């Protein structure tokens, strides 16, 4: 069988192009040397830890230790270490600052305004988490770490108010379509308590009948043969989330 002959001119042209492509390659070291300003940008993480208590949605805040933000609170956060994976950093921050190591964290959004940090260019990725306040004992050892009602927060250090608002919006969207509320409640709860939680998260009153109808259609709950105790109103039946319903949107939630 005769092989197709390739013109000599085309072979030479192809060889020259290939050699040209090789010579145009640049090394990583050369790239770093030619653009040093691009490799001097810090990366940080900020943790928005939500809890629910006394019919209020709360967030965990710490007193800022920056002179520029004296007297203001901030979210829990830190710079990502040079040898640290991005998703490992928020878990380290929580463990070091609060002792929490058994909560889920969900990546929300990255914030990169040029002047967002007084020390220089810092790009921060926000993570949010939901914890049952009474089931997690905080290891409070620095800088006035406390739970604060979300609705009462007007100003925070850095751009943390914007980060908080972004995470609140995500929570409001998720709580309507996913049973993430189970992270904020005890294992057993009444429908009244569940509605009060939804109202705190959404920031609005809900019609009792419509709310219960919507929750029933979700098929998330199991009714228990138990009643509330120690309440001033007529005791309601207790419920719990079905294990099979707790399929997380983030892939990191833990079923109770």
Q: Are residues 106 and 166 in the same domain?
A: yes
- Identify the band that residue 4 occupies on the pLDDT scale cut at 50, 70 and 90: low
Q: Are residues 155 and 203 in the same domain?
A: no
Q: Are residues 88 and 201 in the same domain?
A: no
Question: 97 in a domain, yes or no?
Answer: yes
Q: Are residues 136 and 48 in the same domain?
A: yes
Q: CA 192, CA 173: separation in Å to the nearest integer?
A: 21
Q: CA 76, CA 49: separation in Å to the nearest integer?
A: 8
Say whether pLDDT at 250 is over 50: no
Say whether pLDDT at 23 is over 80: no
**Among 123, 158, 175, where does a domain finish?**
175
Question: 24 in a domain, yes or no?
Answer: no
Q: Are residues 140 and 202 in the same domain?
A: no
As for how many domains the chain has, the answer is: 2
Q: Are residues 100 and 188 in the same domain?
A: no
Residue pLDDT, tens place only, 147-194: 999 999 999 999 999 999 999 999 999 999 999 999 999 999 999 999
Q: Are residues 131 and 231 in the same domain?
A: no
Question: 3 in a domain, yes or no?
Answer: no
- The CATH number of the domain where 217 resides is what? 1.10.10.10
Question: 164 in a domain, yes or no?
Answer: yes
- The CATH number of the domain where 88 resides is what? 3.90.79.10
- Identify the band that residue 237 occupies on the pLDDT scale cut at 50, 70 and 90: very high
**Among 175, 210, 229, where does a domain finish?**
175
Which pLDDT value is given to residue 91?
95
| Exposure of 23 in the CB half-sphere (CA atoms within 13 A) | 6
**Of 124, 111, 109, 144, nearest to 78 (Cα)?**
124
Question: 115 in a domain, yes or no?
Answer: yes
Ramachandran angles phi, psi of 17, nearest 5°: -65, -40
Which pLDDT value is given to residue 137?
74
Work out the average pLDDT over 1-12. Answer: 59
User: Which residue range is the domain that position 171 belongs to?
Assistant: 38-175
Q: Are residues 112 and 237 in the same domain?
A: no
Question: 254 in a domain, yes or no?
Answer: no
Chain-wide mean pLDDT for the chain? 87
More confident residue, 235 or 17: 235
Q: Are residues 219 and 205 in the same domain?
A: yes
Which pLDDT value is given to residue 248?
53
Say whether pLDDT at 39 is over 80: no
Question: 45 in a domain, yes or no?
Answer: yes
Which pLDDT value is given to residue 16?
60
Pairing of strands 42-53, 122-130: parallel
**Among 143, 175, 207, where does a domain finish?**
175
Q: CA 162, CA 111: separation in Å to the nearest integer?
A: 9
61 forms beta bridges with 146
Q: Are residues 203 and 158 in the same domain?
A: no
Question: 79 in a domain, yes or no?
Answer: yes
Residue pLDDT, tens place only, 98-124: 888 878 899 999 999 999 999 999 999
Q: CA 104, CA 183: separation in Å to the nearest integer?
A: 9
Q: CA 164, CA 155: separation in Å to the nearest integer?
A: 10
Q: Are residues 218 and 109 in the same domain?
A: no
Q: Are residues 112 and 238 in the same domain?
A: no
45 forms beta bridges with 78, 125
Say whether pLDDT at 65 is over 50: yes
């Amino acid at each position: 069988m005769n092989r197709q002959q390739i013109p000599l001119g085309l072979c030479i042209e192809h060889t020259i192009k290939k050699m040209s492509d090789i010579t145009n390659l640049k090394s990583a070291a050369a790239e770093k040397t030619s653009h040093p300003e691009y490799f001097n940008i810090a990366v940080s993480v900020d943790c928005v830890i939500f809890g629910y208590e006394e019919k209020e949605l709360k967030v965990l805040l710490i007193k800022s230790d920056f002179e520029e933000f004296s007297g203001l609170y901030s979210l829990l956060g830190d710079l990502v270490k040079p040898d640290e994976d991005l998703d490992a950093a928020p878990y380290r921050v929580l463990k070091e600052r609060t002792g929490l190591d058994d909560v889920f964290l969900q990546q929300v959004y990255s914030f990169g305004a040029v002047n967002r940090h007084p020390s220089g260019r810092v790009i921060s990725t926000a993570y949010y988490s939901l914890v049952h306040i009474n089931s997690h004992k905080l290891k409070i050892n620095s800088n006035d770490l406390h739970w604060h009602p979300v609705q009462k927060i007007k100003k925070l250090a850095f751009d943390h108010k914007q980060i908080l608002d972004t995470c609140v919006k995500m929570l409001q969207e998720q709580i309507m379509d996913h049973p993430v509320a189970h992270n904020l409640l005890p294992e057993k709860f009444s429908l009244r308590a569940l509605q009060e939680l939804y109202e705190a998260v959404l920031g609005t009153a809900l019609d009792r009948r419509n709310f219960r109808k919507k929750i029933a259609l979700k098929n998330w709950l199991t009714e228990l043969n138990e009643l509330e105790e120690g309440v001033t109103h007529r005791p309601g039946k207790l419920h719990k989330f079905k294990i099979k319903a707790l399929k997380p949107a983030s892939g990191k939630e833990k079923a109770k």
